[in-house]
Chains A and B, each alone.
Chain A
Amino acid sequence: AQSVTQLDSQVPVFEEAPVELRCNYSSSVSVYLFWYVQYPNQGLQLLLKYLSGSTLVKGINGFEAEFNKSQTSFHLRKPSVHISDTAEYFCAVKDYQGAQKLVFGQGTRLTINP
């Protein structure tokens, strides 16, 4: 079984500052990794995903994430945040085979202050 831990429940940053949202996972099999974003009063939207290949993955809205197999991490980064990035961010994993389901972390609420 897989599990996901998002190490920060809330992250406040100033506008134009860099941000890193941390995600660690646990799995006995190889996994796919995802970051989803949920803007206020909306459903989840895919930001980026790691399936295979390059460990640095670029997504929408200037976000990127790096897969680190040895540390079982998939941290999300953005070099300069904007007020519009205020949202909740979810890390998720899915194993290579077996069920189609995703296992989500607890979420990180990113608040951008002017």
Chain B
Amino acid sequence: DVKVTQSSRYLVKRTGEKVFLECVQDMDHENMFWYRQDPGLGLRLIYFSYDVKMKEKGDIPEGYSVSREKKERFSLILESASTNQTSMYLCASSFSGRETQYFGPGTRLLVL
């Protein structure tokens, strides 16, 4: 079974803090994705990566950056957290050229 894990299920941070969300997959997938999920808006893509050290902006990259130093790990960074970044963050991965994405359990982030 594919396993995608995220470092925290719940996180509380203060405005202005730098926040790291970690995602690890164990299936040697080339592609990795970060989404945020908000009620009534579904999932929106923040960034994705199709290889180590490669990244591409998704639909809502503002206020976020990413890092992929190893194939199995994809980090989402909030350089200076703001209250409007309070959300559920979901990581996913897939094989290159394959359609199915596999999701982690999500991190619910609250920024105070």
Q: Are B48 and A100 in contact (CB under 8 A)?
A: yes
Interfacial chain A residues near B106, Cβ < 8 Å: 42-43
In the complex with contacts A100-B50, A101-B48, A104-B42, A43-B99 CB distance below 8 A: no
**B94 beta carbon closer than 8 Å to chain A:** yes
Report the Cα distance A102→B100, complex, angstroms.
9
Identify which of residues 5-62 in chain A touch chain B, using a CB-to-CB cut-off of 8 Å. Answer: 6, 9, 32, 34, 36, 41-46, 49, 51
Interfacial chain B residues near A36, Cβ < 8 Å: 103
Number of chain A interface residues as a range: 20 to 34
Q: Which residue of A lies closest to B30 (CB)?
A: A100
Interfacial chain A residues near B99, Cβ < 8 Å: 32, 34, 49, 51, 94
Report the Cα distance A106→B4, complex, angstroms.
23
In the complex with contacts A43-B4, A49-B99, A106-B48 CB distance below 8 A: no
Interfacial chain A residues near B12, Cβ < 8 Å: none
Interfacial chain B residues near A4, Cβ < 8 Å: 42
**A90 beta carbon closer than 8 Å to chain B:** yes
Across the interface, A44 reaches (CB within 8 A) one of B58, B94, B103, namely B103
Q: Are A101 and B105 in contact (CB under 8 A)?
A: no
Report the Cα distance A46→B101, complex, angstroms.
8
Shortest Cβ gap from B19 to chain A (Å): 19
Given A34-B99, A42-B105, A44-B43, list of 18 further CB < 8 A pairs?
A4-B42, A36-B103, A43-B105, A44-B92, A45-B103, A49-B100, A99-B48, A100-B48, A100-B50, A100-B94, A102-B43, A102-B45, A103-B45, A104-B43, A104-B44, A105-B42, A106-B41, A107-B40
Spell out B's residues near A (CB within 8 Å).
4, 31, 33, 35, 40-45, 48, 50, 56, 58, 90, 92, 94, 96, 99-106
Among all A-B residue pairs, the 10 with the closest Cβ atoms: A43-B103, A44-B103, A104-B43, A104-B42, A106-B42, A43-B105, A107-B42, A100-B31, A32-B99, A43-B104
Spell out A's residues near B (CB within 8 Å).
4, 6, 9, 32, 34, 36, 41-46, 49, 51, 90, 92, 94, 99-107
